[in-house]
A and B are shown apart, each in its own frame.
Chain A
Amino acid sequence: MSELPLRAQLAAVLGKGAATLSRATGRGDGSVIGGRVALKVEPDLLAKLARGRRLTLVSATNGKTTTTRLIASALRELGDIATNEHGANMPTGHITALANSPEARNGVLEVDEKYLPQVLRQTNPAVVVLMNLSRDQMDRASEINLLAKKWRDALSRSEAHVVANADDPLVAWAGLGARHATWVAAGQRWKEDSWCCPECGGHLKRDPDPHWECPECGLRRPEATWAVDNDNDTVTDSNGQPMRLELGLPGDANRANAAIAMATAAAYGIHPKQSLPRLREIRSVAGRYTSVVTDGVEVRLLLAKNPAGWLESFAVLSRPHVPVLLSVNAQIPDGKDTSWLWDVDYTVLRGRRVFVMGERRTDLALRLETDGVPFEIADTVGDVVTRLKSEQSGITMVDVIANYTAFQQIRTAYGRVQ
């Protein structure tokens, strides 16, 4: 902190004061308000706080919070890490994270997709990590083709080393603007936003998966040096060495996140043999993938905010006899528009007992009816558990998939379990 100019020091102290007040009065965890107060005093604070540190910025539509956590864990090998682990991913949150760890020489910041170009300019990061880009909250977010273009332009004017998913055409095209890149074959389950070439608009040829190329302009998937093999639960590093992952977090999406985290750590000189054991220890991130036990029934919480996220969540559901509860809200952080529910294929839920909940459960009901999936209406997780227990005493587990505010409501009801 002593390296900071006086004004920036004052701003950081004021910001911390506001954050403490916010926590003490129960308004929040303080990550946003603290940064907001500090920025009023010193608009250039983010750049000043970032100076002299080696930062990694992490951006994507899905998996930002988890990957940030994974990378931060891997980089702890190097000492203290400044990171916004609660997911406050706009500049106010970055300021709070950096101000809270004045001594940390290294930092990992989750960055909202729209803010990446700006934060990139202000913080001059060593590494930028990009995982995926797909439709998300269209009523308040930017068009994703435009967003990819902004990423590409910002990266082309930066010295940052990019670690990116070669299998997502929009992400790859953005990353190809950078001078240095490590490409990871991390996979892409949701393909509906990448049939169109980001360079010329041609219809991409995507065969055999994960290869992709544009027959019209020749844009093609960059050669990856790291690769995930989901079937064998392995990651192969740039030396061609396969390693069993055996993560504590479920699903292919987290294998992809872990591979990208290991490739990022390797860019800092940390060998996968050192980073992987740290990644395996993580079992839950900001309440995601947590189980809470209620009335003897294990309730597993999965957060999914957009079609790509729902597709990944369906892939990690428990065995078919385990009921699933879907909850959707449409508040401002979720996006007010529920049109995206029609982009998800629910037919995989046939044969499973399904409950629908949340402010927009009627949208879900019509959607499931259209896909021929029987369902029941519910008000709370507790009601569902009670109903299930009264009908089948042997019930032991329920999966819950919820979008952002619906997920937070459930977490709050269970005392914000970690």
Chain B
Amino acid sequence: MSDSSSALRIVWIYPDLLSTYGDKGNVLVLRRRAELRGIPVEEVHVHSSDPVPAEGDIYLLGGGEDRPQILAAERLRADGGLKRAAERGACVFSVCAGYQIIGETYGDDADNPLPGVGIMDIRSGRGETRGVGEIVADVDPALGVGRITGFENHQGRTAIGASATPLSQVVTGVGNDGRTEGAYQGQILGTYLHGPALPRNPALADLLLRWRVGQIPPLDPSWGERLHEERLAAAL
């Protein structure tokens, strides 16, 4: 946890630009799964006109439309707070547009490469087709997460560089390129599962918590696990 506080500090980056569809779910579920284990949480929402604090534990970035995505990337680069936090070893969880802009480059609507925040060794551009629909993927066994499920809705394609590792292998859906889905590098993790990726994958939420606080006790299975199973069954 952060040095200055006994609470787990969750920083939601730019809800005004990067909160297109259900991204708030990631904040809510992370908070709930921490609190159910007795971990106090401090939640910080950072608007695009405000500086990003460097002393957070978990930074969340959501999805965004083309123009807000470009604005968010420009502002994050100018601000520098997220990069400083990443260099300090903080955890970053990003979905969809948020995933693309934490990489080295991403494509605008005409597929011109634009500079990203540069905290993960990935490069994104635009594909021929839009990936829309349920996605299922098997996460790298080293992370102990298992199979993930979500909804994807993106034109982007992402190439993973040598310093990053694919998050998962696609079972059904598109993800990065039809074969792998998402990426991670240290405690920085990105995925094309848009919106409420953590509500639909409680094990992924718990991975982020483990990264920050070490061992955590298991929770009794609840509606999150049930939804996870239901959506896997529906998508396969």
| Minimal beta-carbon separation of B65 from chain A (angstroms) | 4
* Stretch in B52-60, B85-93, B168-176, B218-226 with 4+ CB within 8 Å of A: B218-226
Q: Looking across the interface, which residue of chain A has its beta carbon closest to that of B68?
A: A196
State in angstroms the CA–CA spacing of A342 and B194 once bound together: 12
Please tell me if the beta carbons of A139 and B132 are within 8 angstroms of each other in the complex.
yes
State in angstroms the CA–CA spacing of A410 and B21 once bound together: 27
Known: A337-B153, A370-B28. A135 touches B21 (CB 8 A): yes
Please tell me if the beta carbons of A340 and B21 are within 8 angstroms of each other in the complex.
yes
- In the complex, whether A362 has a CB less than 8 A from a CB of chain B is yes
Q: Looking across the interface, which residue of chain B has its beta carbon closest to that of A203?
A: B49
* Stretch in B1-9, B12-20, B138-146, B177-185 with 4+ CB within 8 Å of A: B12-20
Residue B196 contacts which of A144, A145, A201, A342 (CB distance < 8 angstroms)?
A: A342
| Minimal beta-carbon separation of B151 from chain A (angstroms) | 5
CB neighbours (8 Å) of A343 from chain B are 19, 21-22, 24
Residue A363 contacts which of B32, B133, B227 (CB distance < 8 angstroms)?
A: B227
- In the complex, whether B115 has a CB less than 8 A from a CB of chain A is no
- In the complex, whether B42 has a CB less than 8 A from a CB of chain A is no
- Interface positions, chain B 153-194, Cβ under 8 Å from A, are 153, 194
| Minimal beta-carbon separation of B226 from chain A (angstroms) | 6
CB neighbours (8 Å) of B22 from chain A are 338-343
Encoded as 1 (CB less than 8 Å from any B CB) or 0, chain A from 130 to 164 comes to: 00000100110001111000000000000000000
- Interface positions, chain B 62-88, Cβ under 8 Å from A, are 65-68, 71
State in angstroms the CA–CA spacing of A343 and B22 once bound together: 5
Q: Looking across the interface, which residue of chain A has its beta carbon closest to that of B23?
A: A342
- In the complex, whether A195 has a CB less than 8 A from a CB of chain B is yes
- Interface positions, chain A 161-213, Cβ under 8 Å from B, are 192, 195-196, 201-203
Binding site for A on B (CB under 8 A): 15-17, 19-25, 28-29, 32, 47-49, 65-68, 71, 132-134, 151, 153, 194-196, 199, 222-224, 226-227, 230
> 5 tightest CB-CB pairs across the interface, nearest first?
A339-B22, A339-B195, A342-B25, A195-B16, A342-B22
Pull 26 A–B residue pairs with CB atoms less than 8 Å apart, ordered by A. Answer: A138-B20, A139-B132, A144-B65, A145-B65, A145-B66, A192-B19, A195-B47, A196-B17, A201-B67, A337-B21, A339-B195, A340-B22, A342-B23, A342-B25, A342-B28, A342-B195, A343-B19, A343-B21, A343-B22, A343-B24, A365-B227, A367-B25, A370-B28, A370-B29, A370-B199, A371-B28
Apart from A135-B21, A139-B151, A196-B17: 12 A-B pairs, beta carbons within 8 A: A144-B65, A195-B15, A195-B16, A195-B47, A201-B67, A336-B133, A339-B22, A339-B195, A342-B199, A363-B227, A366-B226, A370-B32
